Structure 1
């Protein structure tokens, strides 16, 4: 049995209309979810394939960090798919600095976040004080590095050049892209 805590405002998304999303996650990941809607605690018990069950906590965390359930369920599509979180708050000195850094990651009209997705190849969601990433290891690494560069104060142009370079390397290596539309941000 594993336990994951998600924000109160994401519990409804995890459960879904009439429990539909929760049942889909349970069926796909071969687990049983026990959701405490009072405190956001989710107990996860594997009832089938243990390998699929191991991905369930990341699926729940991804939904909790702002991903649409369909995007989070893609973690089951491929053994290589992974979920990662960049903590914006830990890179900030105070609340105003956190807002500024979050704004740098989003970019004007969401353009920076979009470029991280397009050039990095991963799904990217900025929610609360975190940036969530779902993708193959190379994709996640590219987006994480770009986000850390921005949080450290690198100019956007430098980060975009880095992402274009990584995009071309992955393309050259025949890396298939895993990004699908459907993330929320």
Structure 2
């Protein structure tokens, strides 16, 4: 049995209307979820395929960190999909710095976060003090590196150039694999 902590304001999303999301996660991941809505603790007990059971905590964690349930459940559909969480707080000195860094990661009108998604194919969500990524390993790696560049103070233009270069590499690699 594993335990995952979910923020209070995300418990309703995890459970879904009438428990529909909870039941869908249980069914698709072959687990039983026991949600303590008082403290946000979710106990995850594998009742079927142990490999799916190992992915279930990431699905719950992803929903808890702001992903839509259907995006989080993509982790169950493709065994190459992965979820990574970056703690923005570890890269900041105080609340003002946190606000500034989150603003840089989101970008004007959400443009920076949007470009990370468009140019890598990964899903990116900024929630609280974390940035979550769901995607293929190479997509997640590119987003992680772009995030680190931003948190280290790189100009947005340099990050966008990096993302475009990596996008071209990823699509060329994909096209080469398709033609073989």
Band the TM-score falls in, shorter-chain normalisation: over 0.9
- The reply on whether 1:116 has 2:107 as its aligned counterpart is no
The one of the two structures with greater contact order (alpha-carbon pairs below 8 A, sep at least 6) is 1
Structure 2 counterparts to residues 7-156 of structure 1, below 5 A: 7-156=7-156
Larger Rg: 2
Unpaired runs of at least 5, structure 2: 176-180
Deviation at residue 121 of structure 1 after TM alignment: 1.3
SS of residue in 2 equivalent to 1:173:
helix
Q: Report the TM-score when normalising by structure 1.
A: 0.94
Unpaired runs of at least 5, structure 1: 176-185
More helix by share: 2
Deviation per residue, 1:112-147 (Å, 9 max, x gap): 000000012100001011110000000000001101
Q: Which residue of 2 aligns with 1:174?
A: 174
Deviation at residue 96 of structure 1 after TM alignment: 0.2
Q: Distance in 2 between matches of 1:138 and 1:76?
A: 18
SS of residue in 1 equivalent to 2:164:
helix
**Number of corresponding residues:** 175
Deviating runs (4+, > 3 A) in structure 1?
Answer: none
